[in-house]
Amino acid sequence: MGSGKQPLLKRHFDRELQQLKKRILSMGGIVEDLIVRSIEALRSRDRSLVAEAMRIEEAIDAEEVEIEEDCLKLIALYQPVAGDLRFIAAVLKINSELERMGDLAVHIAERARDLSAFGDIHVPTDLRRMGTDVQSMVRRSLESLVNQDSELALQVLQADNTVDEHHRRMFDFVAEQVQADPTQTMPLLHLLTASRYLERIADAATNIAEDVYYLAEGEIIRHRAELAE
Amino acid sequence: MGSGKQPLLKRHFDRELQQLKKRILSMGGIVEDLIVRSIEALRSRDRSLVAEAMRIEEAIDAEEVEIEEDCLKLIALYQPVAGDLRFIAAVLKINSELERMGDLAVHIAERARDLSAFGDIHVPTDLRRMGTDVQSMVRRSLESLVNQDSELALQVLQADNTVDEHHRRMFDFVAEQVQADPTQTMPLLHLLTASRYLERIADAATNIAEDVYYLAEGEIIRHRAELAE
């Protein structure tokens, strides 16, 4: 709110800000759920899970549009400044990240469909563990936002290193397996793609955590290589 | 500007908005340049180009932070509404996309370094053509923003299909080559990764074009599959 605070207007604004927080958290929950289902689709190669993932993604898309409208309305109506404005600007960006994660999760599910054209292929433990790690990063990045918890945001940044490590191992695993049995090249490349999508979801969670850290500490870390690498 | 327009304030605001446009265009130019250099690094595997790419990326990172500050200051100081607010909100998001493109271009340059560990490897024409296409998408997406040109934005969306097609061909090319000569698996996978980074830069340009279209036409197209696919 601007400097000339009007108690009633301020109360309205605070209430709407709370609703915005709830809304973005709930969208985060849906995205998390979608990630879990996509990994499950990859493991089980159950086509009905792929269709379901697509339906969930549509709901996420619609929600993104509405949250963006909410943010712009809040700015236009209450003309917030300083921390409040910064928070809403962060939500605008985080909203886009969540929608992007939804897209990526669906791409993973689509790879499950591609994989189902091949015979049985083992989904390495690394990939499944990566899925769990990424899901936890998404949850913690959103929690760090609503609680303005910069410590938790830092944890997300650190977790990203682990995910990158998993992905590097997947890269080596695929390279090795392809050389051992070139006839498996296509399904193995699909697995590698799924791993890369997971890595990108982790990157999006990292973007959120970096914004949260900036919001809480007023310090830009998104470009501090020593933390991110 | 709000409904109670003050001519002087309005003039100040318009001038600052013009400067913001110039600034984001100029950042776009730097990002374009970085993409060109990264592709050149991939082709020539000249390590000095990789170091240069990293320096340019640092400048982009610093610029992103300042543009974001400019946007928030403009909102707080002039309390714009309707189209102006929507424009600034779009610049906030587009600014992040540009920074992301810079990161991806550097990742491409890094793959040039990885590739230099291997002997001579042919960089397929598809990949180089993809580089030119992506660079043009970035330029046109920014032009469509500053001129609020929704037709140009649509062209960018269409160009993304071509880039996706290039990437699919690269995927098939790599799969084929790996099977023909498994000893080349590692360098070929690095090439595929570079192709994927280019595809992601094209996706970021598409995100910009979608925002521009929305800004100009008031119509959400980012989730209209028939256009994007």
| Span A127-155, average pLDDT | 93
Nearest Cα residue to A154 out of A226, A97, A65 = A226
Cα separation of the two ends of chain A: 37
Q: Which residues of chain B make contact with A220, given a CB cutoff of 8 A?
A: 65
Nearest-Cα residue of chain B relative to residue A93: B93
Give the domain ranges of chain A.
7-228
Q: How far is A3 from chain B (nearest CA, A)?
A: 11
Scan residues 103-132 of A and list those with Cβ closer than 8 Å to B. Answer: none
pLDDT attached to residue B226: 44
Cα separation of the two ends of chain B: 37
Q: Which residues of chain B make contact with A175, given a CB cutoff of 8 A?
A: 185-186, 189
Scan residues 24-83 of A and list those with Cβ closer than 8 Å to B. Answer: 58, 61-62, 65, 68, 71-72, 75-76, 79, 81-82
Q: Which residues of chain A make contact with B192, given a CB cutoff of 8 A?
A: 189
The residues near A57 (Cβ < 8 Å, ≥ 6 apart) are A34, A102, A103, A105, A106
- Are the CB atoms for B171 and A189 separated by under 8 Å? yes
pLDDT attached to residue B38: 92
The conformation of residue A182, written as its DSSP 8-state character, comes to G
pLDDT attached to residue B200: 92
Backbone phi, then psi, for A121, in 5-degree steps? Answer: -130, 135
Does the structure show a pLDDT above 60 at A143? yes
Which residue of A75, A111, A190 to mutate against B (max B Cβ within 10 Å)? Answer: A75
Tally A–B CB contacts below 8 A. Answer: 71
SS3 string of B205-223?
Answer: HHHHHHHHHHHHHCCCCCC
pLDDT attached to residue B227: 45
Percent of chain A with pLDDT over 70: 93
**pLDDT range class, residue A43, cuts 50, 70, 90:** confident
Residue contact B58–A178, C-beta within 8 A: no
pLDDT attached to residue A4: 52
- Are the CB atoms for A168 and A189 separated by under 8 Å? no
Q: Which residues of chain A make contact with B59, given a CB cutoff of 8 A?
A: none
pLDDT attached to residue A227: 45
Distance in angstroms (rounded) separating the CA atoms of residues B24 and B92: 10
Q: How far is B201 from chain A (nearest CA, A)?
A: 13
Which residue of B79, B84, B176 to mutate against A (max A Cβ within 10 Å)? Answer: B79
pLDDT attached to residue B223: 54
What is the tens place of the pLDDT at every residue in A46-63?
889 999 999 999 999 999
Nearest-Cα residue of chain A relative to residue B95: A93
- Are the CB atoms for A68 and A95 separated by under 8 Å? yes
Query: In this structure, what is the dihedral angle of CA atoms A154, A198, B173, B166, given to the nearest 10 degrees?
Result: -80
What is the reported pTM? Answer: 0.84
What is the tens place of the pLDDT at every residue in A62-104?
999 999 999 999 999 999 988 899 999 999 999 999 999 999 9
pLDDT attached to residue A5: 56
Nearest-Cα residue of chain B relative to residue A182: B179
Q: What's the mean per-residue pLDDT of chain A? A: 89
pLDDT attached to residue A218: 74
Rg of chain A's alpha carbons, rounded to an integer?
20
Q: Which residues of chain B make contact with A182, given a CB cutoff of 8 A?
A: 178-179, 182
pLDDT attached to residue A228: 39
Positions in chain B short of pLDDT 50: 3, 225-229
Q: How far is A32 from chain B (nearest CA, A)?
A: 20
Nearest Cα residue to B110 out of B19, B10, B211, B41 = B41
pLDDT attached to residue A82: 84
Phi-psi region of A45 (alpha: psi -120 to 50; beta: other; left: phi over 0): left
Distance in angstroms (rounded) separating the CA atoms of residues B196 and B200: 6
What is the predicted ipTM? 0.77
Question: B31: burial class by Cβ within 10 Å (0-12, 13-18, 19+)?
Answer: buried
The stretches of B45-149 forming alpha helices (DSSP H) are 47-78, 82-115, 125-146
Structure-block tokens of residue B189: 């996978």
pLDDT attached to residue A165: 93
- Are the CB atoms for B170 and B191 separated by under 8 Å? yes
Q: Which helix (H) or strand (E) holds B185?
A: helix B185-217
**Nearest Cβ partner for A179 among B72, B96, B182:** B182
What is the tens place of the pLDDT at every residue in A10-27?
899 999 999 999 999 999
pLDDT attached to residue B219: 61
Residue contact A85–B75, C-beta within 8 A: yes
Helix (H, G, I), strand (E, B), or coil: what is residue B5? coil
Structure-block tokens of residue B39: 């592709």
**Nearest Cβ partner for B72 among A89, A174, A223:** A89
- Are the CB atoms for A108 and A194 separated by under 8 Å? yes
Is the CATH number 1.20.58.220 carried by domain B7-228? yes
Backbone phi, then psi, for B124, in 5-degree steps? Answer: -60, 150
